[in-house]
Amino acid sequence: MIAMLNRLTSRAIFAALFLACASLIGFGLVLQHVAELEPCPMCILQRYAFVAIGMVALIAAIHGPVRAGVKVYSFLIAALAIAGGSVSVRQSLLQRFPAPEPANCMTGDLDFLLGNFPLAQALPKIFAGTGDCAKVEWSLFGLSIAEWALAWFLVIVATSAWLAFFRKRTAPAAA
């Protein structure tokens, strides 16, 4: 298995990271629009992290870097995953250990925002999300969305570290 992974080019690995992030964003949009789960501000930040990771991975896949370039892209991806993972950890803690008073991340109704704020002030509030950060509305195998996001951020960090520092190249042409 490891030998097979070592034969993959960095371009293929970055493309796989892009596809994983695109799939996760797609799944989040399905949960939002089909299952009607409103994302909270922390969920939106995690989405931004997945989008940023996906964009960097796509650029890296198109670029096809070698040696130092692989390390630079891997570092950027890992840094974004750590940032997203830290938000996931915070939200997971809010969900597992709720405060005595409800920890609410509500930012207001869209009509209220557009009716009472200029568009330049309303847009950031619109993209902030409207759900409650401490409420678990969906889970799979006992893990909330934030905990699944954390698991994916950890996989991304591990993949980036392996790609940058531990991968043994089996062929000299492999990047």
pLDDT tens sequence across 22-39:
998 888 888 778 877 777
For tokens 């401490």, the residue is 134
Distance CA 79, CA 152 (A): 14
β-partners of residue 140 are 143
Of 50, 49, 73, nearest to 61 by C-alpha is 73
Of 64, 103, 78, 88, nearest to 148 by C-alpha is 88
Specify the pLDDT at position 47: 86
Q: Is the pLDDT of residue 10 over 70?
A: yes
Domain spans of the chain?
2-166
Task: Name the more confident of 104 and 147.
Answer: 147
pLDDT tens sequence across 92-137:
877 777 766 554 453 444 455 556 666 566 556 545 555 566 666 7
How many helices and strands in the chain, by DSSP H and E? 7, 2
In sequence order, which ranges of 34-144 are alpha helices (DSSP H)?
41-63, 68-96, 110-116, 119-126
- Look at the domain 2-166 and name its fold: Bromodomain-like (1.20.1550)
Q: Residue 64: which residues within 8 A CB-CB, separation 6 or more?
A: 9, 10, 11, 175
pLDDT band, very low/low/confident/very high, at 74 (cuts 50, 70, 90): very high
> For all residues of the chain together, what is the average pLDDT?
76
Distance CA 160, CA 152 (A): 12
Most confident among 82-86, 114-118, 165-169 (mean pLDDT): 82-86
* Average pLDDT of the residues in 70-91: 89
pLDDT band, very low/low/confident/very high, at 43 (cuts 50, 70, 90): confident
